[in-house]
C-alpha cells in the first residue's frame, strides 16, 4: 500500500526562547559563514552536535533540549557574545556599502546571477566543486559590496555525492537525501502562506516547481525544486542530483534553470534588467526574456533580442569543447519545438542560434554558442582562458581579428573572509587594521604585511598546520573504522603526518587533465624526498572523481594504494569526502599548494588563491590564474608555460621539474632556520605572496570589475533601449534589416598610402580611401584602418584601429576618407581597410555579414 498518499504532512521548526531568538535569525542568513565570531557562537552551543550536523545551525537548533536552552540562558558569557554577534549582524545589513559610496547606488539597476550550482557552505550541499564555490563567493562579495544582485539556481534533493573509499581505495558514492526543512533556507509563500509555484511546459505536460530562498547577507538566492507530489516521478527527478543522469535529464535541468528561473523571478515580482549567465547551462534564460518582451511589449523577436543582448552577461569557464553541453537536434526539437515555434522561429533559425555556423546542419546545438549569440558582454575567467576562449569560438566572429572579438576576460577571485583562517585574520587585523575588510583590493594596505614580525607570522602559520594535521588524523581514523581496520591500524592513525614538517596540499576534482598522480611517477625519488632525515616532506590529498569517470577514480585508487605502502604510510594521506569544510582546513594549513594541470586546460582555478591569503605558497604549472599571479619571488612555477604535443613526454618533464623544485629549492628554503628556528627566507616569500596576490585575487576585486565593465554598462544599454516604449530597440532592429538590404552596395574603390621604402618609427602614414556607399547614408558607415606587426603568415598581430574621417565627395555615391596611421614600433608591418555599419546613436556595430575588408 502507498502510504504517501494517506499521510498528513506538517513541518516542525526550531522554537527558541525570546532571549535566544537572535540565534534563529542569524542561522537563516549565511552571513554567519564568513563571520568568525558567529561561527564560534554556534560552536559554543554544542561542539559535538555542531560537527555531527556538518556545521548546520538550523538543524542543531532544532535538536536542542530544554535543559541545554536553560543552560545557555544562564551563561552570561554566551549571552554577551550573542548580543555582540546580533549587533554586528545588524550593522552589516544596515551599513553603507562600496556600491552606495563609490557607484552612487544606482537604485534601478539589479542583476540576476544564474548558475547550475552554488557552493556557499557544507551545510547546504548543492555544489560539486570550483564552479559552485566561485558562484557562492560571487554572491558573498556582492553582499559585502552592496551590489544589487540576486542568485538563481536549482535545489538538489541529493546534491552531489558523498565520497568514501573502500579497502582497495576505489571511490564509492552515496547520495544522502537533503532535508530542506532542516537547512538554512525557506520556502517562498504568498500572502496566504501558500507556497509560490511556477508551472513549466515540458514534454507536453506541466511541471511544477517550488521556489526556495537562501539569504546570503544582503543577497537572496532563489532555488527551484521539482520534487513535488503533483509531478510525475520523472519530473520529480529533475532536481534530484547535480550533474546526474543523461543528456535528456541535463536539458530538462537547463530548461528549468533558464526558462523556469526567469518565470520564478516574475512570480516573485522581480524583473532584473541585467542577467548574468554563469556558464552555458542557463543560456535558455535569454529566450524566455525575449518571449516575455514579445508578449508584454508587443516586440518582434529581432526587437526583443536587441534588448536582451544589451542586458545580458555571459561567463564561460570551460577551455575544451568536451566540457560544454552539446545537444543533438532531435533532443532540442523534442523539448523545445513548441517553445521556439511560439517565438516565430523556424527549426533551422532556432538551431542556428546554438551553432557556430548556423547553416551547418551537422553541428549540434551548443549552450555556450547560444549564450554567446544572445549576450552583449562576454568573458573568460583568466587572461590565458580569455585567449583560449577566443580561439575556441573564432568561427562565431569569422570576419573580425581575434583581438577584436567581444569576448574579454575577468580573472576569478575568492571571498576573502570565507577562506581566511581566524588566526591569520586576527594577526592581519593586529598589524594592518580593519580597512582591508572593507577594501581587500587596496595594494597599499597589503604592502604593510611586511611590518608583521617574522616570528609572529610563522607561529600563526604553524598553528594552522597543526590544526590541519589533527583534522587529517581524525578523518583517517574515521575511514579506518568504516572499512573495518584492525585496532592497531586505527591506533596508528595518531602517528600519521607530522605537524612540524613541510606540508604539501593537493585537492581538486580528479579529472585526468589535472594529473593528480604526477607526483607519483618516480616512487624511489619521491621516497628519498619525503623521508629525507634532515628535510622531510609530507603530502595531503583530497578530491572527488565524477561517478562516471573511471580514469579519475583510478587516479584516486593509485594515490590511496601508494599511501598505504610502509614507506609512505606516515607521509601521504588521502582525506575522503572533499567538501568546503575539508577545503578550508587544507588551504589554511598547508605550506605549499601543488597544481599540475596540463596547460592550457585549467580555465582559472581558485584553490591556490585561497592558500595565498593564509600564507601558503603556490607551486603550479603556469596555467589558469598563475601566469598572472607568479612574480618569481612569491611561489614557484613548474616549467615556463610550455605546451607539449606528446603528453607522456610532458608528464615526464614536468614530473622531474616538481622533484627538482622540492629537492633543490623548496625543502632547503623551508628548513633553512636561524638560531630562533625561524625560516627567514621562507617568510620573505610568504610575505611577497600575500602582498602581491591578496589585493588582486579576491572576488571583491572581481565583482568591482564586473560592475564597472559589465553590469552598469549593460544596465545603461538596457535602459536606453527600453525608453519611450522601446523606441530605440524597435528602431535598431529595423536599422539592421535596412543595413542588410543595402550592404551589397558598399564597395572600396581605391586606397592611397605612401608605404614604399623604410619608414622611421614615430612617423605617420597618410591613408586615403575612396568608398562607394551605395544607398547607405554617409553617417551610417564606419571606415577604419586596422594596422600592426605582421607575423610569419602575414597576419596582423595585436593590431590597432585608426578611424578615417569622410572628407569630400569624389563621385555620384563615392566619398573620400582620410586619416594617419602612426608607426609606433619597428618591424615588418601592414594595414587593411575595414568598413562596418555605424548607428547614429550607438556607433560602429558588428553584425555577421555586415563588414567589408579591402
Question: DSSP secondary structure string, 545-579?
Answer: --TT-HHHHHHHHHHHHHHTSTTTTTTEEEESS--
Cα 445 to the center of its chain, rounded Å: 26
Residue 683: other Cβ atoms inside 10 A:
18
Q: pLDDT tens digit string along 660-678?
A: 999 999 999 999 999 999 9
Question: Which residues sit opposite 507 in a β-bridge?
Answer: 542
Quickly list DSSP for 794-806.
Answer: S-EEEEEEEE-EE
Q: pLDDT tens digit string along 216-266?
A: 999 999 999 999 999 999 999 999 999 988 999 999 999 999 999 999 999
Q: pLDDT tens digit string along 138-181?
A: 999 999 999 999 999 999 999 899 999 998 999 999 999 999 99
Q: Are 655 and 598 in contact (CB under 8 A)?
A: no
Report the Cα–Cα distance between both ends of the chain, in Å, rounded.
78
**What's the pTM value of the predicted model, to 2 decimals?**
0.95
Q: Which residues of 39-74 are buried (b: 16+ CB within 10 A; e: fewer)?
A: bebbeebbeebbeebbbbbbbbbbebeeeebeebee
Q: Are 773 and 739 in contact (CB under 8 A)?
A: no
Q: Is the pLDDT of residue 3 over 70?
A: no
Mean pLDDT, rounded, for 692-707 = 97
pLDDT computed for residue 728 by the predictor: 97
pLDDT computed for residue 9 by the predictor: 65
Q: pLDDT tens digit string along 360-384?
A: 999 999 999 999 999 999 999 999 9
The CA distance from 265 to 261, in Å, is 6
pLDDT computed for residue 13 by the predictor: 58
* Residue 641 region by backbone torsions, left for phi larger than 0, else alpha for psi between -120 and 50, else beta: left
Q: pLDDT tens digit string along 427-456?
A: 999 999 999 988 888 899 999 999 999 999
Q: Are 787 and 776 in contact (CB under 8 A)?
A: no
pLDDT computed for residue 2 by the predictor: 57
pLDDT computed for residue 684 by the predictor: 98
pLDDT computed for residue 683 by the predictor: 98
Residue 216: other Cβ atoms inside 10 A:
26
Question: Which residues sit opposite 165 in a β-bridge?
Answer: 171
Contacts of 284 (CB under 8 A, 6+ apart): 254, 255, 257, 258, 259, 370
Q: Is the pLDDT of residue 10 over 70?
A: no
Q: pLDDT tens digit string along 26-76?
A: 999 999 999 999 999 999 999 999 999 999 999 999 999 989 999 999 999
The CA distance from 603 to 595, in Å, is 13
The CA distance from 310 to 713, in Å, is 9
CB-count exposure of residue 187 (10 Å: 0-12, 13-18, 19+)? middle
- Kindly indicate the confidence band of residue 800, based on its pLDDT and cuts at 50, 70 and 90: confident
Q: Are 507 and 543 in contact (CB under 8 A)?
A: yes
Which among 33, 230, 241, 2 has a CA at the least distance from the CA of 137?
Answer: 33
Q: Is the pLDDT of residue 6 over 80?
A: no
Question: How does DSSP classify residue 404?
Answer: G
Amino acid at each position: 500500500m502507498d502510504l504517501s498518499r494517506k499521510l498528513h504532512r506538517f513541518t516542525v521548526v526550531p522554537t527558541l526562547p525570546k532571549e535566544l531568538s537572535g540565534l534563529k535569525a542569524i542561522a537563516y542568513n549565511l552571513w554567519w559563514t564568513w563571520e568568525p565570531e558567529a561561527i564560534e557562537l554556534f560552536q559554543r552551543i554544542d561542539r559535538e552536535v555542531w560537527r555531527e550536523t556538518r556545521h548546520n545551525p538550523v538543524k542543531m537548533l532544532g535538536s536542542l533540549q530544554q535543559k541545554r536552552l536553560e543552560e545557555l540562558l544562564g551563561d552570561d558569557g554566551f549571552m554577551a557574545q550573542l548580543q555582540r554577534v546580533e549587533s554586528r549582524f545588524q550593522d552589516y545589513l544596515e551599513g553603507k556599502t562600496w556600491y552606495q559610496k563609490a557607484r552612487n547606488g544606482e537604485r534601478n539597476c539589479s542583476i540576476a546571477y544564474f548558475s547550475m550550482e552554488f557552493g556557499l557552505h557544507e551545510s547546504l550541499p548543492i555544489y560539486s566543486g570550483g564552479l559552485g564555490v566561485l558562484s557562492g563567493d560571487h554572491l558573498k562579495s556582492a553582499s559585502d559590496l552592496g551590489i544589487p544582485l540576486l542568485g538563481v539556481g536549482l535545489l538538489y534533493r541529493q546534491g552531489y555525492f558523498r565520497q568514501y573509499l573502500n579497502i582497495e581505495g576505489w571511490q564509492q558514492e552515496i547520495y544522502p537525501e537533503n532535508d530542506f526543512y532542516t537547512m538554512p533556507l525557506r520556502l517562498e509563500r504568498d500572502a496566504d502562506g501558500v507556497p509560490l509555484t511556477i508551472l513549466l511546459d515540458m514534454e507536453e505536460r506541466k511541471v511544477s516547481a517550488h521556489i526556495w530562498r537562501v539569504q546570503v547577507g544582503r543577497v537572496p538566492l532563489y532555488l527551484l525544486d521539482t520534487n513535488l507530489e503533483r509531478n510525475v516521478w520523472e519530473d520529480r527527478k529533475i532536481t534530484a542530483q547535480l550533474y546526474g543522469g543523461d543528456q535528456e535529464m541535463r536539458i530538462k535541468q537547463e530548461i528549468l534553470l533558464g526558462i523556469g528561473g526567469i518565470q520564478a523571478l516574475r512570480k516573485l515580482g522581480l524583473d532584473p534588467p541585467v542577467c548574468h549567465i554563469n556558464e552555458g547551462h542557463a543560456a535558455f534564460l535569454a529566450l524566455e526574456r525575449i518571449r516575455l518582451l514579445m508578449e508584454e511589449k508587443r516586440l518582434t523577436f529581432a526587437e526583443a533580442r536587441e534588448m536582451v543582448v544589451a542586458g545580458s552577461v555571459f561567463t564561460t569557464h570551460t577551455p575544451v569543447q568536451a566540457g560544454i553541453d552539446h545537444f543533438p537536434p532531435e533532443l532540442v526539437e523534442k523539448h523545445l519545438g513548441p517553445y521556439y515555434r511560439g517565438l516565430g522561429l523556424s527549426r533551422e533559425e532556432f538551431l542556428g542560434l546554438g551553432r557556430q555556423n548556423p547553416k551547418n546542419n551537422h553541428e549540434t546545438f551548443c549552450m555556450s554558442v547560444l549564450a554567446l549569440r544572445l549576450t552583449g558582454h562576454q568573458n573568460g575567467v583568466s587572461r590565458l582562458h580569455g585567449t583560449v576562449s577566443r580561439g575556441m569560438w573564432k568561427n562565431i566572429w569569422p570576419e573580425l581579428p581575434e583581438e577584436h572579438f567581444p569576448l574579454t576576460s575577468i580573472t576569478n577571485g575568492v571571498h576573502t573572509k570565507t577562506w581566511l583562517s581566524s588566526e591569520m585574520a586576527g594577526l592581519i587585523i593586529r598589524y594592518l587594521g580593519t580597512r582591508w575588510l572593507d577594501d581587500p583590493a587596496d595594494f597599499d594596505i597589503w604592502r604593510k604585511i611586511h611590518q608583521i614580525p617574522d616570528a609572529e607570522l610563522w607561529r600563526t602559520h604553524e598553528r594552522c598546520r597543526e590544526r590541519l594535521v589533527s583534522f587529517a588524523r581524525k578523518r583517517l581514523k574515521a575511514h579506518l573504522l568504516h572499512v573495518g581496520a584492525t585496532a592497531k591500524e586505527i591506533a596508528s592513525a595518531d602517528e600519521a603526518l607530522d605537524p612540524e614538517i613541510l606540508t604539501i596540499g593537493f585537492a581538486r576534482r580528479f579529472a585526468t587533465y589535472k594529473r593528480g598522480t604526477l607526483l607519483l611517477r618516480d616512487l624511489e625519488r619521491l621516497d628519498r624526498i619525503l623521508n629525507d632525515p634532515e628535510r622531510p616532506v609530507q603530502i595531503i590529498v583530497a578530491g572527488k572523481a565524477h561517478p562516471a569517470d573511471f580514469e579519475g577514480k583510478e587516479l584516486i585508487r593509485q594515490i590511496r594504494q601508494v599511501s598505504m605502502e610502509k614507506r609512505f604510510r606516515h607521509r601521504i594521506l588521502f582525506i575522503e569526502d572533499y567538501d568546503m569544510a575539508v577545503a578550508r582546513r587544507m588551504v589554511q594549513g598547508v605550506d605549499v599548494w601543488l597544481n599540475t594541470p596540463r596547460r592550457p586546460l585549467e580555465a582559472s582555478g581558485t584553490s591556490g588563491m585561497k592558500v595565498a591569503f593564509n600564507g601558503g605558497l603556490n607551486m603550479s604549472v603556469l596555467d589558469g590564474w598563475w601566469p598572472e599571479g607568479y612574480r618569481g619571488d612569491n611561489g614557484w612555477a613548474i616549467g615556463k608555460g610550455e605546451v607539449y604535443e606528446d603528453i607522456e613526454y610532458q608528464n615526464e618533464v614536468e614530473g622531474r621539474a616538481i622533484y627538482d623544485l622540492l629537492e633543490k629549492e623548496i625543502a632547503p628554503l623551508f628548513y633553512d632556520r636561524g638560531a630562533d628556528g625561524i625560516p627567514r627566507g621562507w617568510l620573505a616569500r610568504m610575505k611577497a605572496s600575500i602582498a602581491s596576490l591578496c589585493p588582486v585575487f579576491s572576488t571583491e576585486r572581481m565583482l568591482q570589475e564586473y560592475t564597472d565593465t559589465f553590469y552598469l554598462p549593460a544596465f545603461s544599454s538596457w535602459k536606453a533601449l527600453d525608453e519611450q516604449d522601446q523606441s530605440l530597440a524597435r528602431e535598431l532592429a529595423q536599422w539592421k534589416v535596412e543595413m542588410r538590404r543595402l550592404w551589397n552596395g558598399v564597395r572600396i574603390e581605391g586606397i592611397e598610402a605612401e608605404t614604399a621604402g623604410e619608414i622611421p618609427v614615430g612617423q605617420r602614414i597618410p591613408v586615403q580611401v575612396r568608398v562607394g556607399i551605395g544607398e547607405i547614408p554617409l553617417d551610417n558607415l564606419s571606415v577604419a584602418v586596422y594596422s600592426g606587426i605582421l607575423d610569419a603568415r602575414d597576419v596582423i598581430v595585436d593590431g590597432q584601429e585608426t578611424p578615417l574621417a569622410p572628407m569630400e565627395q569624389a563621385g555620384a555615391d563615392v566619398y573620400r576618407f582620410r586619416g594617419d596611421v602612426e608607426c609606433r614600433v619597428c618591424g615588418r608591418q601592414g594595414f587593411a581597410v575595414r568598413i562596418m555599419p555605424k548607428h547614429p546613436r550607438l556607433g560602429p556595430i558588428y553584425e555577421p555579414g555586415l563588414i567589408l575588408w579591402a
